[in-house]
Amino acid sequence: MEASRKYRQAALALIFATAFLSSCNRRLSVTKSEYTQYGIDAGTEQDSSAIRFYLPYKQKMEAEMSRVIGQTEEALTKPSEPETLMGNYFADAMLTEGRKKEPAAQFTLATKGGLRTTFPKGNITVSNVFELMPFENEVVILKLSGENVQKLVDFIALKNGQPVSGIRMKIKDNKAYEVTIAGEPFDSQKTYNLLTYDYLADGGDELSFLSNPIERRDVGIKVREAILENINDLTSQGKKITAQLDGRIVIVKD
C-alpha cells in the first residue's frame, strides 16, 4: 500500500508540474534532481484509484479494437511461397489506396517479414489490422531510376518473391526475367514510381538503394490507415476481403 500511495503522489506531482510549467512563460532550468525507484512485480498491490481512472479509456479502446469492419471469403495466409494471399491482398490494397492520393504510382513493394500476421476466415476486426501492421509506417512514393529498379528486381528474385503489386516477373536460379511494370516490359532506361512505406524507403530490410531516389514524397497516410480504408470501402460496397494467387511472381524450376 505504501508503494501505491507513493505512485499516486508521484503521478499527481508530475501532472501538477506539467500543468504549472505549461502555463508559465518564464524560462526555467533544473537545479536539482532526485528520484526513488520502486519495483513493480507480481507482488505489487493494485491501486484502485488508478484503475478507476484508466478503466473507461480501456473499455473504449477494447470496444473499438473488437469492432468488425469486414469479412474475408477465406483465410488470407502467408506461407513461404513466392506469392501469398496475405501478401497479394496487402500489396494490392496499398496500391489501390495510394493511387487515390498519388495516381502516378505504378507498383508497390512490401516485405514478407513486415506482415506480422494473417487474416482468419470470417469477421475481420480493427485489431486484426493493427496486428498485421503494428508499426507507425507512412506510405511514400519514390521516383526511381531504371538502375535502382533493377536492383529492386534483383532483390525480389534473390528472396524468391516479396509482396508486390503492379509488377510481375519470373524467377529462375534467383534471377528475374520477363519483368513487367504497370503492364509494360521493364525498361532500365526509364524512371518508375514505387509506392512503399518509409521503413523500406529509408533502407530497411536490406534495401539501402531505395534511400537515394530521384524524388521522394510522403503520401500523407499510414499503411495501417490505408488497409483500414480499403476494408471499409469493400464493406460499404457489400464486398468481402479477398485475394488470388495470380502468377505475378513465378518460380521456374526447370
Instruction: Check residue 160 and give left, alpha or beta (phi > 0: left; psi -120 to 50: alpha).
Output: left
Tell me which residue of 101, 103, 80, 105 sits closest to 91, measured CA to CA. 105
Q: Give residue 224's pLDDT band: very low, low, confident or very high (50, 70, 90).
A: very high
Per domain, the residue ranges of the chain are 2-65, 68-251
Of the candidate CATH numbers 3.90.780.10, 1.10.490.20, 3.40.50.300, 3.30.479.30, the domain formed by 68-251 belongs to 3.90.780.10
pLDDT digits (tens, 9 = 90+) for 161-193: 999 999 999 999 999 999 999 999 999 999 999
Q: Give residue 120's pLDDT band: very low, low, confident or very high (50, 70, 90).
A: very high
Q: Does pLDDT of 14 surpass 60?
A: no
DSSP string of 196-253? EEHHHHTTTTT-GGGGS-SEEEEEEEEHHHHHHHHHHHHHHTT--B-----SSEEE--
More confident residue, 230 or 25: 230
Please report the pLDDT score of residue 248 as a whole number.
Answer: 97
pLDDT digits (tens, 9 = 90+) for 83-115: 999 999 999 999 999 999 999 999 999 999 999
- Give yes or no for a contact between 117 and 129, defined as CB atoms under 8 angstroms apart: no
Instruction: Look at 8-17, 43-52, 153-162 and tell me which has the smallest mean pLDDT.
Output: 8-17
Q: Does pLDDT of 1 surpass 50?
A: no
DSSP string of 141-204? EEEE-HHHHHHHHHHHHHTT---EESEEEEEETTEEEEEEETTEE--TTS-EEEEEEHHHHTTT
Q: Are strands 192-197 and 122-125 parallel, antiparallel or unpaired?
A: unpaired
More confident residue, 46 or 170: 170
More confident residue, 51 or 76: 76
Please report the pLDDT score of residue 198 as a whole number.
Answer: 97
Mean pLDDT of 60-69: 86
Please report the pLDDT score of residue 4 as a whole number.
Answer: 47
Q: Give residue 9's pLDDT band: very low, low, confident or very high (50, 70, 90).
A: low
Mean pLDDT of 222-235: 97
Please report the pLDDT score of residue 200 as a whole number.
Answer: 97
Share of the chain above pLDDT 90, in %: 71
Q: Does pLDDT of 20 surpass 90?
A: no
Mean pLDDT of 225-242: 97
